[in-house]
Amino acid sequence: MALWADTTRAWEARRDAWRLKQNESTVAASAMTCVRGDGVFFLGWGDLCAVAATSRAGLDAGRAAVRRIRADITRGAAGELAVPCVGRPPDGSAPFPDGFSYARRVRVPPPHLDATDDATSGVYAKVVVAWQNGWSLRTAVPLEAGARVCDYTGDLVSRRAARGRERWGTPTYVLSLVEHSFDASVPAWRTTVDATDRGGVGRFIDHACDPSLELRALRKSPAHLVPVLAFFTRRPLPAGAPLTFDYAGLDDHPGGEPPPPVGVLERSETRCSCGAPNCRRWLPRLEDDLDRCGDFLNGNRHNNIPQRH
């Protein structure tokens, strides 16, 4: 009986080993099918490293995918206006901006999908994403004054939700634009876009106290309550120039005067190193009154959208 039991256990062990080998072969074959296809192009840095560690074919596929991503971080969404990466972090981390998916337009949650304009790609000029103590956006060719460069795209969120995300302590790419009117009876209108998880190349635009870009709210018709947030050059720019805008939004007002009082502009705990003659030395932080602006997702919508002058 003991001999029979030992023989049975040995046979079952061999059977289980054979089944495991068959399953591993199936999984490996499926993985290599993905590696050889275009699916690997859309993987993140961690997944690409895992693919590269599987085999020589995985290593080659991973390297090819990295080259393609660095050639166009929009991963084909910008069409002929591909946005390449220039430089890479010195610490061996991802050689391209990682951790977000590209968004051509502002993503409005249902059932409000018709509240914004359709966007083509979100990119309108030749630009590059360059590494210099962090990823930033620069011109690839000379640009004239008034040229449209790109849009700020991502998820449309309420300002309350955005403030909640900011308090989590994780880096965010939230842009909040307040539109004002000279008509005191028309409340200010706020549009808040979060490009942390989904966004366009606008998320790489740095702050400067003397910026090269200005932000404009564009609408094709009054039916589009959510504007397209478009960046335009304020002056002629040479190739390789950094693309920046004033995070406080003061560049849109004569003499640098702040907009009508919705809040108080304070200095933050982050030093500004833009180097401009008028540098404030601190990155701006806007402490705002959340209830004094119309917000599309907060429930305090207004029929009249203020027109900026």
User: Mean pLDDT over residues 100-125, rounded?
Assistant: 74
Strand, coil or helix: what is 20? helix
Residues 6+ apart with CB under 8 A from 269: none
Q: Which pTM was predicted?
A: 0.76
Q: Are 127 and 83 in contact (CB under 8 A)?
A: yes
Helix axis angle for 2-36 and 56-71, nearest 10°, is: 30
Taking only the tens place, the pLDDT of each residue in 224-269 is 778 889 999 999 999 999 999 988 775 544 444 444 334 434 445 6
Strand, coil or helix: what is 126? coil
pLDDT at 36 > cutoff 60: no
Residues 6+ apart with CB under 8 A from 210: 274, 276, 277, 278, 279
Taking only the tens place, the pLDDT of each residue in 151-163 is 999 988 887 777 7
